[in-house]
Structure 1
Amino acid sequence: MKPNLIACGHAMVTALVNAALAVALMLLVEFAISGTFQVPVAYLWAGFLIGVVIFVGQFWRQRHLCRASEQTGNTEQH
C-alpha cells in the first residue's frame, strides 16, 4: 500500500505542476493574440485533461519505480 501512496503523491505533484504550466502557457498565448486575459472554459478543461493524462502516466511510472526499489532493497527516492 505504501508504494501506491508514494507514487500517488509524486504523480499528483507532477500533474498539478504540468497542468498549471499548460494553462499558463495557453493564457499567455491568448493574451499575445487578443490582448486581454480572458479565461475560456475550454482552457480550463484542457488543463484538467492534461493533468489527468499526466497523473495516470506518472502514477504508473512512479509505482513501477517504487516496486522496483522495494525489490532491490534500495530505499532511495526517485
Structure 2
Amino acid sequence: MDGIRDPTPAAHRAAGGAQQEEPLMKPVLWLLLLVSTVAAVYVSTFAHYTGTTRVLAGVGTGVVFVGSALGVWLTSGKK
C-alpha cells in the first residue's frame, strides 16, 4: 500500500472493533433516553424553575434526549 499504515490498532481489529463495545453501549443509550425523558417531564411540570433556569434545563434535557435517540438509531443495525 505504498507505505500507508492502517491507523487502527491490530488488537482492536482482531477483537471485532466497535462491535464488541456495542452490547454495553445500547443499554446505556436507552437509559439516557429514559432519564432525559423523565427529567424533561420533571422540569416542565414539577420543578419551580422560572426564566433562564427553566430554559437551560429544558435545552439540556432536550440535547441529551436527541443525542441518545440518535445514538440508539445509529447503533440499531439490521440483523
| TM-score (ref. length: structure 1) | 0.41
Bigger Rg, which one: 2
More RCO (CA 8 Å, sep 6+): 1
Bigger share in helix: 1
